[in-house]
Every structure is written in C-alpha cells, then in structure tokens.
Amino acid sequence: AKGFPQSEHVKSLDICAPAHANALMGAERLTGLCMPCSILIFTDKGKTKIAAMRPGAVMPQIFPHVTERVGDLPQKIDAEIKAILDAAAR
C-alpha cells in the first residue's frame, strides 16, 4: 500500500492499448473499471515475480454480454500481455 513499508519490493505498472480500450468501452462503458491493465512486479523470498490481470478470464465473468460485441478481443489482449511479460522475464 502506498506510503506503507512492505516486507518485499512491489511495483505496480499500468499499461493500455487505446484501440482495445476504445473497443471495449464502446461495447460497455463500465469495462473502463478494469482499465488500464495492471502489471505487478514484486519479490517473494528474494525472487522477482511478475503478475498481471487477464482480461480474457475476467471480462467474460464480469461483463458476459461484452463478449458478444467484441468477440475474442479480451483473449487477444491476454496474448499481448503474456508476450510483454515473457519478454520482460528474459
């Protein structure tokens, strides 16, 4: 939590692809609550780890009607985020 000491290092980053955000928010404005996508970089017992929210897993649960309008876009976003994380892990 900001302003409070943590036992391990933690950094939160927000990323956004405006075209994807526009498509999702065009289908359902409330999807903006899930944006921008967050990536968490942290250490656990001295080992660096990276985690991210997966729109392809979360969006259909929260906004099932959006999938009908945007198709597999949330899964495409998942793949893009995974590629970013894989590149960062190298």
- The C-alpha angle 22, 27, 28, rounded to 5 degrees, equals 95
Domain boundaries along the sequence of the chain: 10-89
Q: In what order do the strands lie in the sheet with 10-15?
A: 10-15, 37-44, 47-52
Residues 14-66 have pLDDT tens digits of 999 999 999 999 999 999 999 999 999 999 999 999 999 999 999 999 999 99
> Nearest to residue 71, comparing CAs of 16, 41, 26, 18?
26
What confidence score (pLDDT) does residue 41 get?
92
Which DSSP helix (H) or strand (E) runs through 27? helix 18-27
- pLDDT confidence tier of residue 8, bands split at 50, 70 and 90: confident
Which CATH class for the 10-89 domain?
Answer: alpha beta
Residues, the chain, total? Answer: 90
